[in-house]
């Protein structure tokens, strides 16, 4: 089948205004070509899986063969580079996970607002620290999520400093014709996919509308029925005339049972052709998840199941219903090193565009603050292994990680809240500068107490409470 030719006339062009993020991201996307696929020997090696720009496997160690392009890039959020902010630091930066770190159940974690103020200059040193956001969540336009975050954190969050789980999926828009997009509220993820440039997007609702017997216990609501596309139009007489070339789970499923059924149907189809069944169970199209997190931190006191759980179910049930055949799905997002490399480039551009810092000189240290050891800490530590600069993992106790438990992936530092994380990073950096005092290190404005501490060769006030995993 042609990867570029839809099997049928597409929908009338939707009037989706291209988000400013899309424009901002055009430069960043041009630099993502080094994302790679993590292949295993038992991978089904679906036609496109070997050509993908991502990797994932729940069990295997992270692997990533791509090299970040070293060439300077054009600032993405400003037409011209601003002058250097005299108060901004150039040797370190922060990157934040969102859920369980800054936001929980749609509300800001109290210390998060203060942490943002500290980064924006309200700290004992009077310095501003560049930062970006890197979340596995999604289901909205990036611009919408930034607007939400701006209100929640009482700051201006720009799409130029934001990456969500499905952001890298835009790279696949030109690769596939008809795709199935799963997850999210209503038609939102279809809209997002189309804004990314996907040309022929169908959803589980479209399939259910065409054949209600697909999921016997799922009945579309009147509005769902109305909003779903009519697949049997434009010369398409039956669903088997439609070939799905890839499945993209953009956001968490709102109806796991019917989505599971439909994903499995396509995974076990003859080359993605709807309502067919492969005899060999190795003809299905590639299946991509925007991330692989099994748990995430929501309003409930205990972590909730995320799309990583659905991914595991898909793979398990596929095997159970295909005589033991294995299905290899793929996931973007953390902990993939490629996602952190993507973030590196975004951070470089953000530092240049917003702070006027030279893009050619990356920060010596990036502090990544997260709540999930399996994604945030694992990915940061793996990035640190590979990167030329330091990626320093900080785990907070406000989300998935439960105090008193042993995290499978150890952070460099364990703290209570994101505010502690920010203070720890800033103070650690200031202590470095202090230790370099008189040896050419760049001195930043320090208060008398800090200078006295440095002159005495100590940093007693800068070390947060010692605990497990402490690595000041
Ligand atoms: Mg989180």
pLDDT, tens digit, for every residue of 287-318?
999 999 999 999 999 999 999 999 999 999 99
Examine residue 240 and state whether it is found in any structural domain, yes or no.
yes
pLDDT of residue 124: 87
Picking from 281, 296, 331, the residue at the C-terminal end of a domain is 331
161 CA distance to ligand 1 centroid (A)? 17
Report the distance separating Cα 42 and Cα 84, nearest Å: 51
- Residue 399 Cα to ligand 1 middle (Å): 6
In terms of domains, do 204 and 286 share one? yes
In a domain, 86, yes or no: no
> How many angstroms does the Cα of residue 79 sit away from the middle of ligand 1?
33
**Whether residues 384 and 257 fall in one domain:** no
**In terms of domains, do 264 and 191 share one?**
yes
Same domain, 187 and 304: yes
Distance 403 CA to ligand 1 centre (A): 15
Q: Pairing mode, if any, of strands 287-289 and 330-331?
A: parallel
Asked whether residue 344 is assigned to any structural domain, the reply reads: no
Q: Cα(293) to centroid of ligand 1, in Å?
A: 9
- Is 143 a member of any domain? no
Q: Give 297 Cα–ligand 1 centroid separation in angstroms.
A: 6
The position carrying tokens 């748990």 is 295
Torsion of CA 426, 427, 432, 437, to 10 degrees: 110
**Number of domains making up the chain:** 2
**146 lies in some domain:** no
Are 39 and 102 found together in one domain?
no
3 state SS of 75 = coil
Beta bridge partners of 132: 95
Q: How far apart are CA 52 and CA 288, in angstroms?
A: 10
For residue 208, how far is its CA from the centre of ligand 1 (angstroms)?
Answer: 33
Q: Which residues contact 9 (CB under 8 A, 6 or more apart)?
A: 234, 235
Residue identified by tokens 């020997």 is: 41
Q: Could you tell me the distance, in angstroms and rounded to a whole number, from the CA of residue 138 to the centre of ligand 1?
A: 12
Query: Do 193 and 111 have their domain in common?
Result: no
Using the mean position of ligand 1's atoms as its centre, give its distance from the Cα of residue 316 in Å: 25
Same domain, 322 and 200: yes
d(CA 333, ligand 1 centre) in Å: 12
Ligand 1 centroid to Cα of residue 1, in Å, is 39
Q: Pick from 283, 315, 331: which residue ends a domain? A: 331
- From residue 135, alpha-carbon distances to 54, 306, 343, 401, 435 in Å are 16, 13, 11, 16, 34
Query: Quick one: 376 and 314 in the same domain?
Result: no
Q: Is residue 151 part of a domain?
A: no
Name every residue whose Cβ is closer than 8 Å to that of residue 172 and which is 6 or more positions away in sequence: 52, 53, 198, 246, 248, 288
CA distance linking residue 115 with residue 423, whole number of Å: 8
Looking at the structure, tell me whether residues 270 and 360 fall in a common domain. no
Domain stop point among 331, 364, 395: 331
Is 102 inside any structural domain? yes
In angstroms, what is the span from residue 137 Cα to ligand 1's centroid?
Answer: 8
Answer whether residue 66 is part of any domain: no
Domain containing 216 — which CATH number? 3.40.50.1000
From ligand 1's centre to the CA of 54, what distance in Å? 21
Residue 457 region by backbone torsions, left for phi larger than 0, else alpha for psi between -120 and 50, else beta: left
Dist. CA 347 → ligand 1 center (Å): 19
CA of 104 to the centre of ligand 1 (A): 9
Mind listing the pLDDT tens digit of every residue in the chain (472 residues)? Answer: 444 444 444 444 333 333 333 343 443 334 333 333 233 322 222 223 322 333 333 332 223 333 232 222 222 333 334 567 778 999 999 999 999 999 999 999 999 999 999 999 999 889 999 999 999 999 999 999 999 999 999 999 999 999 999 998 988 999 999 999 999 999 999 999 999 999 999 999 999 999 999 999 999 999 999 999 999 988 888 999 999 999 999 999 999 999 999 999 999 999 999 999 999 999 999 999 999 999 999 999 999 999 999 999 999 999 999 999 999 999 999 999 989 998 998 999 999 999 989 877 789 999 999 999 999 999 999 999 999 999 999 999 999 999 999 999 999 999 999 999 999 999 999 888 765 444 333 444 444 444 454 445 444 343 333 344 444 4
- Quick one: 403 and 305 in the same domain? no
Q: Whose structure tokens read 């993820």? A: 189
Cα–ligand 1 centroid distance for 98 (angstroms): 6
How far does the centroid of ligand 1 lie from the alpha carbon of residue 43, in Å? Answer: 29
What is d(CA 115, CA 420) in angstroms, rounded to the nearest whole number? 8
How far is ligand 1, taken at its centre, from the CA of residue 400, in Å?
Answer: 7
Q: How far is the CA of 219 from the centre of ligand 1 (A)?
A: 33
Q: Give 246's contacts (C-beta < 8 A, 6+ positions apart).
A: 48, 172, 175, 176, 179, 180, 272, 285, 286, 287, 288
Do 216 and 280 lie in a common domain? yes
The residue segments making up the domain with residue 435 are: 92-137+356-462
Ion ligand 1, residue ranges at CB < 5 A: 97, 99-100, 371-372
Centroid of ligand 1 to alpha carbon of 145 (angstroms): 15
User: 325 and 183 share a domain?
Assistant: yes
């Amino acid at each position: 089948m042609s990867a570029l030719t839809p099997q049928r006339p597409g929908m009338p062009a939707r009037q989706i205004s291209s988000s400013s993020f899309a424009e901002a991201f055009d430069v960043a996307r041009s630099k993502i070509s080094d994302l790679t696929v993590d292949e295993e020997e038992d991978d089904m090696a679906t036609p496109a899986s070997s050509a993908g720009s991502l990797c994932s496997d729940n069990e295997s160690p992270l692997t990533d063969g791509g090299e970040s392009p070293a060439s300077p890039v054009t600032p993405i959020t400003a037409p011209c580079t601003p002058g250097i902010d005299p108060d901004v630091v150039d040797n370190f930066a922060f990157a934040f996970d969102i859920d369980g770190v800054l936001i929980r159940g749609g509300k800001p974690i109290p210390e998060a607002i203060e942490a943002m103020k500290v980064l924006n200059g309200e700290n004992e040193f009077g310095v501003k620290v560049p930062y970006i956001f890197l979340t596995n969540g999604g289901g909205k336009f990036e611009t919408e999520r930034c607007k939400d975050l701006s209100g929640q954190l009482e700051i201006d969050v720009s799409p130029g400093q934001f990456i969500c789980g499905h952001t890298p999926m835009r790279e696949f828009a030109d690769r596939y014709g008809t795709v199935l997009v799963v997850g999210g509220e209503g038609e939102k993820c279809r809209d997002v996919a189309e804004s990314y440039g996907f040309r022929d997007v169908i959803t589980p609702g479209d399939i259910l509308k065409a054949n209600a017997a697909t999921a016997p216990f799922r009945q579309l609501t009147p509005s769902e029925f109305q909003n779903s596309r009519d697949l049997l139009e434009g010369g398409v007489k039956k669903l088997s005339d439609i070939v799905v070339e890839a499945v993209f789970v953009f956001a968490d499923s709102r109806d796991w049972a019917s989505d599971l059924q439909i994903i499995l149907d396509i995974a076990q189809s003859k080359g993605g052709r709807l309502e067919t069944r492969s005899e060999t169970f190795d003809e299905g199209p590639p299946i991509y998840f925007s991330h692989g997190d099994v748990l995430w931190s929501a309003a409930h006191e205990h972590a909730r199941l995320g799309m990583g759980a659905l991914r595991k179910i898909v793979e398990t049930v596929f095997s159970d219903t295909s005589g033991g055949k294995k299905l290899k799905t793929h996931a973007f997002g953390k902990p993939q090193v490629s996602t952190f490399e993507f973030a590196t480039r975004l951070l470089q551009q953000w530092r240049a565009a917003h702070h006027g810092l030279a893009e050619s000189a990356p920060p010596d240290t990036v502090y990544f603050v997260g709540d999930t050891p399996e994604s945030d800490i694992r990915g940061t530590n793996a990035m640190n292994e590979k990167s030329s600069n330091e990626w320093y993992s900080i785990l907070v106790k406000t989300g998935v990680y439960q105090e008193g438990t042993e995290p499978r992936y150890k952070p460099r530092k364990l703290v209570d809240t994101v505010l502690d994380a920010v203070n720890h990073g800033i103070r650690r950096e200031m202590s470095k500068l202090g230790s370099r005092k008189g040896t050419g290190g760049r001195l930043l404005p320090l208060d008398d107490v800090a200078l006295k501490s440095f002159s005495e060769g100590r940093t007693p006030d800068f070390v947060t409470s010692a605990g497990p995993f402490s690595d000041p």
